[in-house]
Amino acid sequence: QVQLVESGGGLVQAGDSLRLSCAASGRTFSSRSMGWFRQTPGKERDFVAAISRHGVTAYADSVKGRFTISRDNALNTVYLQMNSLKVEDTAVYYCAACAVDWTLQPPSTNWKEYEYWGQGTQVTVSS
């Protein structure tokens, strides 16, 4: 059982930065890939970034070079540093935990493969 709580969202102007945090409760955090996804009304959830238990990262092309995902296993926390924000980054951002994975494979980019989800945090970027 894993519970996830996101924080750090807000209203910012284009070009600004935000850092999202996701605090996890429960066992096996260090054995799971963690991901960030985002969703706007009427749309499917889109992949943003993910990190494996060994620190291998993956990014959507739209955020590569601007966003950085990281994790602190000692604190059971995953972060998403968002720089140079654009209006099109506006969405509800969700933290998610994948199933336990003992391999060295890259993290999944498919939201359907993630087992646990946080409640989401709103990020709004104005022009």
Quick check: 49 and 63 in contact, CB under 8 A? yes
Question: What tens digit of pLDDT does each residue of 25-48 get?
Answer: 977 788 899 999 999 988 989 999
Q: Looking at the chain, how many residues does it have? A: 127
pLDDT of residue 18: 98
Q: Give pLDDT, residue 60.
A: 98
pLDDT at 52 exceeding the cut of 90: yes
Among 96, 103, 19, which residue's Cα sits nearest to residue 56?
103
In angstroms, the CA 66 to CA 72 distance is 20
Give residue 94's pLDDT: 98
pLDDT at site 64: 98
Q: Compute the mean pLDDT over every residue in the chain, rounded to the nearest whole number.
A: 94
Q: What is the pLDDT of residue 121?
A: 97
Per-residue pLDDT, 124: 97
